[in-house]
Amino acid sequence: MARTGRRPGGGSGTQQAILDAARTAFTEFGYDGATIRGIAGKAGVDPALVHHYFGTKEHLFVAAMELPFEPSVLLPTLLEPGLDGLGERLVRMLLSIWDGMGEQNPFAALLRSAMTHERAAAMFREFATSAIFSTVVKAIDADRPELRTGMVASQIAGLVMTRYLLKLPAMVEATPDELVAGIGPTLQRYLTEPLNLPTG
């Protein structure tokens, strides 16, 4: 007779079941809608086992979607020195991560999916807002921090698109130092300098 009930903790098989259930849940319900309890139910394990293997929902999302970084680990190292020079640090960090992954880059597949499928876009947007943007917004000591963060994101998305997805020759051939020098100051202006937006 087949065994029923929750799956006992047991190494890689259980972890893989949790990851498979997490991918399904995040895709179906989005980042905000998916819960550790729901994912544990899909995997047939106790929620405590999900926490044991993966800790927080952010860590589980990063593992399930094979993202190249964990915001809760990466952002403090970028923000700790303060806002001065943050624009250049952001560009250099991004280039280091993406260039280091080469052609085998699961994050690129997720971004392509987000550009063409609303459900994938919503999932990624919710994750980015919760795990990345909210932290940057709190660190900005200037007016319109949400808009400033969005402008930074627009530049980073453009860099990713042109260098790694569309692979425009000039952007692919540019050295990291050139891109840091060219794009970093623009990000820094968004983060700390007056935006000079129209009023009224």
In this model, does residue 154 exceed pLDDT 80?
Answer: yes
Same domain, 100 and 166: yes
| Nearest residue to 183 via CA among 149, 147, 156, 151 | 156
Same domain, 45 and 107: no
Distance between CA atoms of residues 60 and 64, nearest Å: 6
Task: Please tell me the chain's helix, strand, coil percentages from 3-state DSSP, rounded to the nearest 5.
Answer: 75, 0, 25
Domain count, the chain: 2
Same domain, 104 and 21: no
The CATH number linked to 33 is: 1.10.10.60
Same domain, 80 and 59: no
Distance between CA atoms of residues 183 and 155, nearest Å: 8
Same domain, 54 and 115: no
The CATH number linked to 79 is: 1.10.357.10
Give residue-wise pLDDT tens across range 75-126.
999 999 999 999 999 999 999 988 888 776 777 777 888 888 888 888 989 9
| The predicted structure's pLDDT at residue 1 | 34
Give residue-wise pLDDT tens across range 30-45.
999 999 999 999 999 9
Asked if the structure places residue 127 within a domain, the reply is yes
Same domain, 17 and 95: no
In this structure, how many other beta carbons lie within 10 angstroms of the beta carbon of residue 30? 18
Residue 81 belongs to domain spanning: 71-192
| Nearest residue to 99 via CA among 52, 151, 47, 159 | 159
Residues 6+ apart with CB under 8 A from 124: 31, 110, 111, 114
Name the domain boundary from 40, 64, 88: 64
In this model, does residue 8 exceed pLDDT 80?
Answer: no
Average pLDDT of the residues of the chain: 89
Tokens of 80: 């700790």
Same domain, 58 and 82: no
Same domain, 30 and 95: no
Asked if the structure places residue 6 within a domain, the reply is no
Asked if the structure places residue 171 within a domain, the reply is yes
| The predicted structure's pLDDT at residue 95 | 94
Note the Cα 148 to chain centre separation in Å: 18
Asked if the structure places residue 114 within a domain, the reply is yes
Asked if the structure places residue 7 within a domain, the reply is no
Asked if the structure places residue 135 within a domain, the reply is yes
| The predicted structure's pLDDT at residue 11 | 58
Same domain, 43 and 98: no
Tokens of 44: 């047939």
Which whole number is the average pLDDT over 63-81?
Answer: 89
Asked if the structure places residue 197 within a domain, the reply is no
Same domain, 51 and 116: no
Same domain, 49 and 76: no
Asked if the structure places residue 145 within a domain, the reply is yes
Same domain, 113 and 28: no
Name the more confident of 116 and 1: 116
Name the more confident of 24 and 101: 24
